Amino acid sequence: MLLMTYGVLIYKEIYEADFQLQMEFIQVKPNLVSRYNGGSFISSKDFYLYIFGGMSVSGPLNDLWRFQVDGFLWTQIVTSGGIPSPRLKFGYCSFTQNNILKFAVFGGLTMKGDDNNLFL
């Protein structure tokens, strides 16, 4: 349905798509620490799932992991340079620069309180 109001086109259509999604539990190795309020992204460069930080029952985390979808395997990524302190509720994004995958972490909540540092 199409409406015209004051020269503006307004569409009132709803489309439904049925993808017949199925979910299945998959046991993966190694078992990671349960967490929440961390960051995750899927890289368009290598199609791995990455997770960083978050909160566990022991406190904030600052570990970085990569999940290999076709092998159901988690691998911890060891980083160098200025590693963010353990944190949760942070801003994050991934991007590619000079064909190198990068992950940016901004701010968050640490054991010392709010943080506004940027890590690349």
pLDDT in tens, the chain (120 residues): 444 445 555 455 556 666 777 777 777 777 788 888 888 888 877 788 889 888 888 889 889 999 988 888 899 998 878 788 888 888 888 888 898 888 888 888 888 888 888 888
Q: What is the biggest distance separating any 2 CA atoms in the chain, rounded to whole angstroms?
A: 60
Domain residue limits, the chain: 27-119
Pair of tokens at residue 54: 């978050």
Whether 76 and 65 have beta carbons less than 8 Å apart is answered as yes
Surface-to-core class of residue 38, CB atoms within 10 Å of its CB (0-12 exposed, 13-18 middle, 19+ buried): buried
pTM of the full structure: 0.71
